[in-house]
Structure 1
Amino acid sequence: MKFVRDSGIDRVTDDDGYRDARESDKETMTNHLKETSPRGQKYASGSHTVSVPGFPPQHRAQGFDHSAMASNLADMAALLPSNPWKAFAVVVGMVVVWHLTTAVYNIFLHPLRRFPGPVLQRASSIPWALQHSRGIQAFRTRELHDEYGPVVRIGPDHLSFVDPRAWRDIYGNSTPAGPDGRLSDMPKAEWFARTVRAVPANILNAEGDEHQRYRRGLARGFSDASMREQEALLLRYIDKLVARFHEACRGGGAGGDVNSDGKDESKGKGGGEGEAVVNIEAWYNWASFDIAGDLIFGQSFGCLANAAYHPWIAFIFKMARYNAPMVGLKYVGLGLVVEGLFKLGGMVALSTLRDSISRMLESRLALGYERRDLFEGLVSKQKEWNLSFEQLAGNAAVLVLAGSETTSTTLSGATYLLLKHPDVLKKVTQEVRSSFKDGSEVNINSVGKLSYMSAVISETLRMYPAVLSGSVRVVPPQGGRIASHQVSPGTMVEVQQWAANHVLENWHDPFVFRPERFLDENKGRDKVDALQAFSVGPRNCIGRNLAHVELRLILARILLDFDLEFAEPPQEDWIGKQKAYGIWGRIPLEVRLKPAAA
């Protein structure tokens, strides 16, 4: 036996091969563990040898002791509390420490630390998520702007603006998209625009070239020229709505009290002789959905005829309500939970929705692209653009909702606000009735001349916007300048309609219904450019022409044909009683109708 020096390690050689000189250290450690550990005897057992590449078979190296590793893990586990409640407390403590550390960073070290806002919302995304899930986020954000000013930090990475300049800075073509200097709008926040990835992209949430393709295909159908082509169709459904109201006043019972299944339970309900009490909010909805159905699918949903929501439409409203907490979960980083919940229940619901819309879409496709309507542009490009049936169905569903929701919401709001302000109601009614002898004179050209009624509609869009929160966008990697504020990359930014429309920063007496503020002789006291009901830029609402035409035609016919007043008891705070889940969770609006004296 002799010592040799091999790569700086002392080794002892014998006839069997190499043996590390550190073997003695191992023996010493093993004896120590036997003395100090109740499991010490296990550390010295179970050794085995493995072949070492590059050495003859007779040469062996000491292998890994698996039993020793297991014993080590057991000893480490012994350090944890044996009581499960204590272990739970340790985990909770670690989570609390993590959240506290994150909160301290968000408040004092975050790039957005200089922007004002409540401490809790600067520290954590949870408050915003809870507010959104409860349907009060838009109202709370408006209060924060009153307290903190035109820009408020409503989440750790989230800013809300009410300065009118922010509309163009966020939603306009103001962001360099690449080295060619081409300008683009800021991309939408994925968690907001597309809560569930399994749902196909559509014109609302598609990005880049895909969005531009959808927009290009649909542009002609929503143009001013197209609206004039569809005038006869629009007037036909408006005549149906007015006829149903006259029927109700004659005792036909068309009240529109809608149950949870979207059906009318008001048969026989009426006011005094020659008048009727109706839930006018439901009837506005039914008219606008029937119009949208015919303009997109080539067939009505039958809402006016049946005095009930089509099951597909009732389902959409329920989904809008249930989507709010899903957005909240995704906002706080629980996207996987949202996807899991969707797989558990949402897939079945989505399948039901697809089955319903597929039948209507198949009927529309059978009509061919020669039919001039809102959907003709995409139908005609189906083969050229390789559009799948799913893509067509997704866009059709979105267009039905978007093409009807603004109209029905604004008409309901206008009716409520006019009834609350009899002087304004009297003035706009006089304008309408002095302009037309009967309904046959009401058309797109003639209603465009009603300046005071147009001001009433604009003031309604300000006081009761169809969409309360703006589309959330993300500042690109190069950063952005919004309303003279430099904003760091990755920040979520938006202009919320409700806040921008109700702050003293923009409006004199913001909660007073005053249509005169939109007439030329009264402009100057208010920042009227703060009102952007249909947004701005390349992604503004494609249906704004349709909405304006429907609003003017329907409101003019109602004011021409009927005297209106609140049913008993009067609904003094109809808007204040509603929640807002992206769109309004509207409640019934009971109105007494009486045919106008000839």
Structure 2
Amino acid sequence: MGLESLWSLVSFAAISIIFFQIITYTYNIYFHPLKDYPGPYHAAASHIPLVYHILRGNPVFWTRDIHDEYDSDVVRVAPNELSYRDARAWKDIYGHRKSGEQTIKKSPQFYEPPFEETPNLVLANDETHSRMRRIFSNAFSDRALKQQEPLFLEHVDKLISVLRKSIETDPDEKFDMVKMYNYTTFDLMGDLTFGEGLHLLDGNKEMREWMAGILNSMIFGAILQSIRYFPMVEKLLMNCIPQSLHDKRLRHQRHSNERVDKRLKKESTKPDIWNLILKQDEASGLSLAEMYSNADLFMLAGTETTATLLSGVTFYLLKNPDKLKLLTDELRTKCKADGDLTLENLAQLKYMHACLEEGLRMYPPVPNGLVRTVPPGGAEICGQYVPPKTNIYASHYCTYRNSKNFRDPYEFIPERWTSPEYDSDIKSALAPFSIGPRNCLGQNLAYHQMRVILAKTLWHFDLSLCSESENWADQKTFILWSKGPLMCKLKPRSTLK
């Protein structure tokens, strides 16, 4: 083939691709089944705008702006994707379906395990998920949590001890509370998941590097999510992911698997997760590979999200000293001694619960929406028919910043959960743990962790925000929040009983 013929072939191919794209964009904008939904033309035409914002770390802010610009509780953010901020969307998308209605399932586009890995509770299909959930539910029951209370207190008391010793050495020391909360939740979940703490609070360098690797894996997740919008070239794009990200992922998996093996070989009477589930006959249906994949999940879902909420609520309390005083007064009045800070007692503190709920609203640990796909028969969402195969989700961040759901949505106001003044708020719009058959299995565990860690910190210390963290909440999101240091000064209470 001569040079002229080759050039003609390349030109024809380029023109064909351009023509195909023009036809595709025209169809998506003017003829697609979602053409009547509000949203920008460029987002309706192509996935590129959404992927651009995912990789930049600002998809939730971009989506919020689209909702606000079009003043609509449902907007089209991609050719085949709708975002909702209507409180009814939680039940319509994620809730239990009525008899005869088709289930709105997780989108396989976003929830297929990468690299043919064994699916965990989150990634499993409905049948496997139901089986796993039955097995694990005992380990997350109220009865199990009561048995696990000594483990909770052991690790949180360690946090208090480490903070106190550091202050005694240097009264002017600044603490990054993001790290301190993460060290605590990882140590605690390590004990629950592997039968022994990880000793991050003791300064274990290897474990701290492992923790950092788990948190950095969210960037890999955002890249994977973006690639899956282009299935025709997915394999090619997967090969473009830096080898260093693959290595970190494999190193984390290997480390987690080794710890599961070690725990299974060890005789233990601790009320940890494996001790509670291995007593069940049903546990025989849990393969070793499924134990590996779920241990991996627990070490992310049971740590990072809890530490994220604690960081967020600490920041907003410090930015609102009047709210912080109300909470510390409640804690120190109702709990006269450290020994009164039990799981049962803390669950009765109304203002603490209100602060945690408001923290979840202002700073949801998972700010994005959890994607579902409309079944073949279509579905009615928020009173409107949605055609089959549409990707849909309720966006946590957008829903919680919707003034139709919450009055003064950008203000941290715990009183909205306790005062009749905010009765107009649609409280059901808050669903940080989702709802329905796929809701978070560990939400009770999360609430207990959040209560006891925050309560002990505020009961023992007076906190102040350092100037360098004044704008801490201005963050990007890569599936989860990309948090910088939350620098605080801590001063021990002058009198402790």
Q: TM-score, normalized by length of structure 1? A: 0.78
Match among 161, 165, 178 for residue 84 of structure 2: 161
> Are 2:457 and 1:558 aligned?
yes
Aligned-pair CA distance for 1:438? 2.4
| Aligned CA distance change for structure 1 residues 525 and 147 (closer, same or farther; 3 Å) | same
Give CA-to-partner distance per residue, 1:295-332, whole Å, 9 cap, x none: 11101111111165533322212221122122111113
In the alignment, structure 1 residue 219 sits paired with structure 2 residue 144: no
What SS does the corresponding residue of 1:303 show, helix, strand or coil? coil
Distance 2:399 2:272 in 1: 34
Cα offsets for 1:452-485 (capped at 9, x unmatched)? 1111110000000000112100000111000101
Contact 1:279 1:590 in 2 (8 A): yes
Aligned equivalent of 1:421: 320
Q: Deviations over 1:342-372 (max 9, x none)?
A: 7966664444233211221012112358653
2:363 matched residue in structure 1? 464
Q: Pairwise mapping of residues 90-109 of structure 1 onto structure 2 (< 5 A)?
A: 90-109=12-31
**CA distance in 1: counterparts of 2:438 and 2:429, whole angstroms:** 17
Give the equivalent residue in structure 2 for 1:202. 120
Q: Does 1:397 align with 2:320?
A: no
Q: More deviation in 98-107 or 521-530?
A: 521-530
Q: Are 1:353 and 2:252 counterparts?
A: yes
Q: How many Å apart are 1:503 and its aligned residue? A: 1.7
Match of 1:304, SS? coil
Is contact 2:371–2:391 with CA below 8 Å preserved after alignment?
yes
2: CA distance, partners of 1:156 / 1:106: 6
Evaluate the alpha carbon distance shift between residue 156 and residue 558 of structure 1 in structure 2; reply closer, same or farther with a 3 A threshold. same
2:193 counterpart (296, 305, 320) = 296
CA change 1:480–1:355 in 2 (3 A) is same
* Rounded Cα–Cα distance in structure 1 between residues aligned with 2:420 and 2:186: 37
Q: How does 1:309-348 map to 2 (within 5 A)?
A: 309-333=207-231, 334-341=233-240, 348=247
1:171 partnered with 2:68: no
Does the 8 Å contact 1:369/1:379 carry over to 2? Answer: no
5 Å-filtered alignment, 1:20-31, equals none
Report the TM-score when normalising by structure 2.
Answer: 0.94
| 2:34 match | 112
Correspondence 1:590 to 2:484? no
Matched with 1:228 is 146
- Cα deviation for residue 533 of structure 1 reads 0.6
Q: Is the Cα contact below 8 Å between 1:574 and 1:589 reproduced in 2? A: yes
Which residue matches 1:25?
none
Secondary structure of the residue aligned to 1:310 is helix
Q: Distance in 2 between matches of 1:496 and 1:541?
A: 16
- Report the equivalent of 2:176: 279
Instruction: Decide whether the 8 Å contact of 1:369 with 1:380 is kept in 2.
Output: no
Contact kept in structure 1, 2:113 and 2:119, CA below 8 Å:
no
1:443 aligns with 2:342: yes
**CA offset at residue 237 of structure 1?**
0.6
How far residue 517 of structure 1 moved from its aligned partner, in angstroms, is 0.6
1:121 equivalent in alignment to 2:52: no
* CA pair 250-402 structure 1, distance change in 2 beyond 3 A: same
Amino acid at match of 2:198: F
Mapped to 1, the partners of 2:268 and 2:69 lie a distance apart of 54
* CA–CA distance in structure 2, aligned partners of residues 83 and 213 of structure 1: 58
1:321, 1:581 within 8 Å by CA — same for their partners in 2? yes
Matched residues, number: 492
Measure how far apart 1:492 and its partner are. 0.3
Helix, strand or coil at the partner of 2:376: coil
Letter in 2 for 1:142: R
**2:158 equivalent to 1:240:** yes
Q: Select which of 60, 72, 75 maps to 1:152.
A: 75
Q: Which moved more, 1:417-426 or 1:430-439?
A: 430-439
Q: Indicate the residue corresponding to 2:393 in structure 1.
A: 494
- Distance in 2 (CA, whole Å) between partners of 1:459 and 1:103 is 41
Higher helix share: 2
Other-structure match for 1:189: 107
Unaligned runs of 5+ in 2: none
Indicate the SS of the match to 2:83: strand
Q: 1:341 to 1:223 in 2, by over 3 A?
A: farther
Task: Confirm or deny: 8 A CA contact 2:121 2:294 kept in the other structure.
Answer: yes
Among all aligned residue pairs of Structure 1 and Structure 2, give the percentage whose two residues are the same amino acid.
33
Q: CA deviation at 1:506?
A: 1.4
User: Does structure 2 conserve the Cα–Cα contact (< 8 Å) formed by 1:480 and 1:488?
Assistant: yes
Tell me if structure 1 keeps the 8 A contact 2:253–2:296: no
Task: Quickly say closer, same or farther: Cα 1:248–1:381, change in 2 above 3 A.
Answer: same
Report how far residue 93 of structure 1 moved.
Answer: 2.3
Task: Indicate the SS of the match to 1:173.
Answer: coil
Residues 127 and 203 of structure 1, relative CA distance in 2, 3 Å threshold: same
Task: Give the CA deviation at 1:114.
Answer: 1.0
Taking the aligned partners of 2:490 and 2:214, their CA distance within structure 1 comes to 29
- Aligned with residue 143 of structure 1, among 65, 69, 79: 65
Q: Specify the code of the residue in structure 2 equivalent to 1:169.
A: D
**Which of 126, 130, 147 is the matching residue for 2:52?**
130
Aligned-partner residue type, residue 23 of structure 2:
T
1:173·1:184 contact (CA, 8 Å) conserved in 2? no
User: Shift in Å at residue 572 of structure 1?
Assistant: 2.1
Structure 2 Cα separation of the partners of residues 184 and 237 of structure 1: 45
8 A Cα contact 2:45 2:78, kept in partner: yes
Q: CA deviation at 1:508?
A: 1.2
Q: What one-letter code is carried by the residue in structure 1 that aligns with 2:119?
A: A
Unaligned runs of 5+ in 1: 1-76, 252-269
* CA separation of 1:376 and 1:192: change in aligned 2, threshold 3 A: farther
Deviation of 1:385 (Å): 4.2
Say which is worse superposed, 193-202 or 119-128, in terms of deviation.
193-202
CA distance in 2, matches of 1:523, 1:337: 52
Distance 2:460 2:279 in 1: 40
Higher relative CO (Cα under 8 Å, sequence separation at least 6) belongs to: 2
Cα deviations across residues 48-83 of structure 1 (Å, max 9, x unaligned)? xxxxxxxxxxxxxxxxxxxxxxxxxxxxx67x9446
Paired residue type of 2:42: L
Q: Which moved more, 1:342-351 or 1:283-292?
A: 342-351
Shift in alpha-carbon separation, 1:345–1:563, aligned structure 2, 3 A: closer
For residues 240 and 135 of structure 2, the distance between their equivalents in structure 1, rounded to whole angstroms, comes to 34
Secondary structure of 1:131 counterpart: helix
Q: Separation in 1 of the partners of 2:461 and 2:487?
A: 15
Aligned: 1:474 with 2:397? no
Contact 1:175 1:480 in 2 (8 A): no
- From the superposition, tell whether residues 377 and 347 of structure 1 become closer, same or farther in structure 2 (CA, over 3 Å): farther
Cα RMSD after superposing both structures: 2.2
